[in-house]
Chain A
């Protein structure tokens, strides 16, 4: 037996203590749903994991009402400092339960445990820690003194990073003082339901976060509910467009984080071995189920053959298989539906005349799998160079000059992310400046940090998540309210008006803090 066929090293499932059935998490309790129950399965072997409730319009209404009550009675009245305490507490609980969450995520989503363990869950904790820190510093977010929360946020998230997308949505919303109704994707509800358990453990006031499960119609009922002030959606461009249309004119604030077809540009002066790693990480991380995946490789023509050659030998060391095995690099495709889409587009690629190469790996009998695949000889007019495949499929195009690379990179309806590989700093900065993409990585790819804003241009959506900018999606800037009363006193003060308001705000905060402090005392130290 060869050493490279590492002996199985499966992460144990025994840490999971799953229920057979999960209800909807509304007003701090698990309650039954009124829609048709569905089963969530493991995409690695199609085995059922648990029965999941489905929320119908009536349940959505209950959840939104609970969120509204919590907003009016509790959450909007808490000081930023106290909201921060809850968020810090959630972050610590996520850290404590890291292994459990990672196993649940890999089981339900199909992603390799090494990714859920080393990337997803640590980032989830990082996101809560980061926004916990902001909760009492919103005056300094650049949105004017005392910016206001929006109210009830409806959040609909995708299946590719179920728990991480939940964190991206919930952490800033709560830090800013909003309450939340969140709907996880139909195929990956499990980690969100475990997260509900963490919320109970953290003693978060009932109704501040409600988690309702279901399919597209649940999501649609949620975002179109009249009691919602804010809609945040991450998912496909088609659904994003529908949401933008249906919420137009309702006064709801929207952020959309949609598809992408990122260019990963490799210049001939790139650090080659690291560039090859970056290409692999760009498109084969999370089976390519990444909206910002580097799915279009733009490689300078004079190094094309060498890069492809190295890439192929690197891909042949990738290990596809059991997501719970600690040595697995490529896990399962999340659903049959997605697998079909990847297959269809790959066939289109072949029909269009591109050359297909797939790594030679054994595909398990059960479950949904797709071997890492590269298409060379792809032209800008091919569908596989334009449409988001959302799978482990890389389209390789070439360019001759930086100007051509920039033109090709920008020639897409999307604009979420891009990558540049070069050892020359001035080239990186010059090219980055001309790329129309929300995130540009230099000599790396698919790196995330809560302090860094993320979001798209064009059909990749609007609004930013993460960093200080991410607060803007959940706050109403007080600059816009000059003359509406909020700042009248400050504005009428002749000089030093900013510091004047600062002191007033500080004085107000102190009093509300002591009030909530008493309340906490009666509830046995809510969050410390």
Chain B
């Protein structure tokens, strides 16, 4: 992010120019200046607190401005907050300008649409079913402008290919902004009612609480993921030669699951199954795990208890679902010669068959103390040789196809880097407005 390309500077300058053009008719419009000032201050305060405490952007005040004020005045509401708030990353100037111009343009668009459809009169007269129509159109315009700007800056500043830059931006932002828009509409209606701005402020309280709880949810979830990672690391440390093994098995399991066309929930469960498959090794004495040279039958029997230990440990974690069965059965073989129960064929749960293939593949392709890593092709050939007797041929074929398409899974240095959170692939933003400006970097 250090070197911002000149194209990005150009884009920011162009957007700023457009925003200024929107503000140009300001001296000629008749606007309730005290209301404008109050909204500006309110938005600045909300933005400041939300940005510092929760991350994200708080749109209800902005949209209420769009419903209440003429377009140039509405665009002004967004400015003080952006110009006053601190910028965390350098270069500060273009970021600050972008942060001010982007919402200003979006609000201007929303206010223009609302004004054209007679939304303001509907708000003043509280003409109710009708007021929803201009408000809905304004929210749509707001989202469209934001999406266009965000996609554009991603193409120009980050060099994302245009096809992917706009992918999912609109659909992701529409629902949260619509909710914020409804809150904004209520604010606007109550603002113009005899009860005045005091009543309008009350609308913000539930939104506020909802955000607060949502932020707590995220904090707790992060802590939970850290705990699961710690569990895995404990196994990795104990079992000296398997650094990063758990995480790679998780990734390989996900690749197989996606290739088999499983739905996203199940893919997530399989990721956990792969990551935690050896957690039972915590119960096996370290001396045995690290022993060089051949194991006695007695020692082998003790090591082979680890799927049962693992299952016993994670038995009470309900969100793992099927993954618990995968942990118990990942050493079963199709011909019934595996352990712990010697299940045959379809008796073995599907997810256990996936993890078994992923485990074997990673074991072959990573270097261990007693032998070198094998090349990927040799490992796949070996897996295909054992398919039918030891592994499920469907899973082996899926892994081969996925490898041909995506390449080999790589862990981020022993799983300690933490770049990829295990469940961060699911989109968790029903309330959080998509306020991630590309130019401000990521916060969480």
Say whether A and B bind each other.
no
Residues of A in contact with B (beta carbons under 8 Å apart): none
Residues of B in contact with A (beta carbons under 8 Å apart): none
